[in-house]
Structure formats: structure tokens, C-alpha cells
Amino acid sequence: MKKDELLKQRADLLANAREDIANDKADEAQAKMDEIKKIDEKIEKMNVAEANLKAIEDKPVKIENLTKENKVLNGDETKLEKVENGIKKANYTDAFAKVMLGKSLSPAENEVFKKENSAFTHSTENTGTLIPDTVVDGIFKIAEEQYPLFADMKGYNVKGTLTINKHDGIVSGDAQWVDESTQADDEENKFGQLVLKGFELNKVASLSWKMKSMSESDFISFLTQELADRIGVALGVAAHQGNGVKSPKGVEVQLKAETGTPQVVEYTGSIAYKDVTGALAKIHSSYAAKSAIYVNNATLWNQLANITDTVGRPLFIADPTGNTVGQLFGHEVKVDAGVLDGEVLIGDAADTVVKNVNQAMSLAQEDHVKGRSTDYGAYTIVDFGLLTTKGFALISPKTASTGK
């Protein structure tokens, strides 16, 4: 009940008590006076509360010292709780940056730093500090923008070895028409496995001690861009040209390694209309609709963009919106620096290529006193591979594939 309502009730009770006394109703008058005393106690509490509030308003205190009762009195409990939580909770990205720059941590930052890295398994081979997810995401995002084939692969984050069973085909016993007296052949399937054990990837970025005075946010930007440039190149190029020895085996390498190279179209001179249609014909129908065309910038504008139909009309259609590069035969063209000059890769990466980050990215640092610099070494384990070659086709110059 509000204070003005209590004052009105008190006045009414007081008037009624006087009337009872005038009518010789002492007991009834006493009962009303008892109620007036209870109202007076409530009003007194309200007066004390108002005085406390006034004192708080005149003399602000630090937010971290506010009690729950203070928050209620200030009338904005929700807002203050949010501020308090912001003070108590430390950001791992900021804590990570401070450690890498040799700066001291607050107790809250130290706590979150230890907590994040306690879940990251350390051994004699793994003594780095876990890179924040936001930084790793930024590194991979930049890599994927420059190398769309790597971006289009189906991705996993499974620690250790990832094994995927795959169906390589039916040797015998496929669906068949039979008459009433004939027994259908038993089905014999051929299965295989794609085993992604992982390849180690390392990149070192150096920073002078003078530059280590930069802010945490500037350091995160520097680290993200520096690692993305180098790690992105390694991942993007390997997606196409990896040798399978020190890096995962690239898609183009696997297509060229097949016996008889059934998924490769060779050409001499320049890429022609029939070379593109011939490559599209090699892709299995189940992957054709989702296939994209991967080509480097030089080959796109020197060759693909100049292919014409029988009446001289260009087949490549540039995208006026700028959202994509353009289309060729209804398939999106994607500029990918990992494709060799003169080659064109066509395929459905999302359904036929699998990538896995076998170990989360970490960062180790090493100081050099003489050079007054610090090396930051990023380390991760990544692997990828093809589930089937039938989802891709490669257009390649004859000299490149035969060595002649």
C-alpha cells in the first residue's frame, strides 16, 4: 500500500476512534488506535527508506561494492546486475592477447585463461596456448574467402583420426528385370573407408618488442591477418595440389592419379566449348546440379570469359550484383587461387570432399633477446580427402598432364 493511502486510512481511523469515544465505545476506540499504531510503524519504515535512498543519491558508491539491497533501492536492479556481471566475467580473447603480449592479468582474466586451457590437452608435443575461437574463426574465414574449394568442403572438428565408411559401388546384383522363373543375382557391394589422420600445419609470425606495446585488439587483428595469410595459402593450395605426403592430397592430384584419368579432360591451345561440356558430362548426375566451377583469376578472364557459342555469344555471364563472379552453363564460377594456371576444376565439394580439424589451433611463443623480437608459432592438425572422384571433373592443358 502506498504512503498516501496509509495516511488516508490513518485519518479515517482517527476520526472513527474519536466518534467511538464520544459514544462511550472505549473498546472499539482502542482497537482503532491499535491499527493506527501499526500504520505509523509502516510509515516510519517508509521514511527511513526514503532517507537511505537520498543518502545513496547524494554519495554514489562503486558499482562492484553494491549489495543486493542497494541495487533494489537504486531502482534499476537489472541494469546494475548486467554491469556487475560485465565486471566479474573476463573475455578469454582479451586474456589470451595479454598473455601473448606479456601483460599482467586481472584475477578474473587469469581464472578464465586457466579454465579455457585446462580443457586443451597438453603433452611434450603440445605446449601451446589455445587460440580463441573468435580468432580461429577469423583465420579460417579469410582462408575460405580466398580459396572457395576449401570453404565448400564438408567440415568436422573431430580430435584424432576420423574414419568415414563410403560406398564405392555394386560389384554385382544391382536391381534387374527378371521373369517369374528366374532368380535375381545376389547383391555384392564394394565398400571403402576415408581415413583422415591429419597433417601438421605450422606458421610462425614475428613481432618486435617495440610493437608489443600495441593494444590487445590491435594484436588480435595483427595475429588473425598474419596467420590467415600464411595458413590460408597452405590450406587453400593443398585443397587442390596437396601431395598426400606432407600435406593432405588435393582434389586435382587425386583426379590426375586415377588409372586412365577418367575425370580429366585434356586440351591443346585454349579451352574450347567442347572441353567444358565434356567435363560437365563426366560428373555423376547426382552431383551435377550442385557443382561449382573453380578457376584462378587469370584463366577466368583469359580463357573462360572468352568462350563463345556457335554464333559468337560469350557463354560466361558476369553477375551484375557483385554477389558472385558469374555463371557458366548455369554453374557458379568461383575464383580460387589454388587452381593451377590453365586448369579448371568443376565439382560438388560439399557432398564429395570432407575436411577435419584433428587438433584445435594453438599458439606458442619464443623470445629472442638479441633481436628484441618474439616469434608466435601457430600449430594445428588438419586433413581432408575425397569420398568419390565421380563428383568432379578437371580441364587441364595436355602439356601439364603428360609432361610433353
Cα–Cα distance between 224 and 151 in angstroms, integer? Answer: 17
What pLDDT, on the 0 to 100 scale, is given for residue 290?
Answer: 94
What pLDDT, on the 0 to 100 scale, is given for residue 393?
Answer: 97
Answer yes or no: is pLDDT of 87 > 80. Answer: no
**pLDDT tens column, 17-48:** 888 887 888 888 888 888 888 888 887 777 76
What pLDDT, on the 0 to 100 scale, is given for residue 66?
Answer: 45
**pLDDT tens column, 197-206:** 888 888 777 7
What pLDDT, on the 0 to 100 scale, is given for residue 65?
Answer: 45
| Percent above pLDDT 70 for the chain | 79
Least Cα distance to 389 among 281, 238, 254, 275 occurs for 254
For 42-70, letters b (16+ CB in 10 Å) and e give eeeeeeeeeeeeeeeeeeeeeeeebeeeb
More confident of the two residues 36 and 302: 302
What pLDDT, on the 0 to 100 scale, is given for residue 271?
Answer: 95
> Sorting pLDDT into bands at 50, 70 and 90, what band is 61?
very low
> Sorting pLDDT into bands at 50, 70 and 90, what band is 260?
very high
- Quickly tell me which residue has 571433373 as its cell: 393
> Sorting pLDDT into bands at 50, 70 and 90, what band is 57?
low
Least Cα distance to 93 among 55, 133, 64 occurs for 133
The predicted model gives 115-128 an average pLDDT of 59
What pLDDT, on the 0 to 100 scale, is given for residue 354?
Answer: 93
Answer yes or no: is pLDDT of 120 > 70. Answer: no
Contact 216, 98 (CB under 8 A): yes
More confident of the two residues 71 and 254: 254
Q: Could you tell me where the DSSP H helices lie in 153-264?
A: 216-241, 251-257
What pLDDT, on the 0 to 100 scale, is given for residue 328?
Answer: 95
**pLDDT tens column, 308-317:** 888 888 999 9
**pLDDT tens column, 316-328:** 999 988 888 999 9
**pLDDT tens column, 349-403:** 999 999 998 888 887 778 888 778 888 778 888 999 999 999 999 999 986 444 4
Residue 284: Cβ-neighbour burial (10 angstroms; 0-12, 13-18, 19+): middle
What pLDDT, on the 0 to 100 scale, is given for residue 317?
Answer: 93
The predicted model gives 246-250 an average pLDDT of 91
What pLDDT, on the 0 to 100 scale, is given for residue 215?
Answer: 80
**pLDDT tens column, 261-278:** 999 999 999 999 999 999
Q: Is the pTM of this model over 0.85?
A: no
Contact 119, 211 (CB under 8 A): no
Mean pLDDT of the chain, nearest integer: 79
More confident of the two residues 88 and 397: 397
What pLDDT, on the 0 to 100 scale, is given for residue 401?
Answer: 44
Q: Which residues contact 118 (CB under 8 A, 6 or more apart)?
A: none
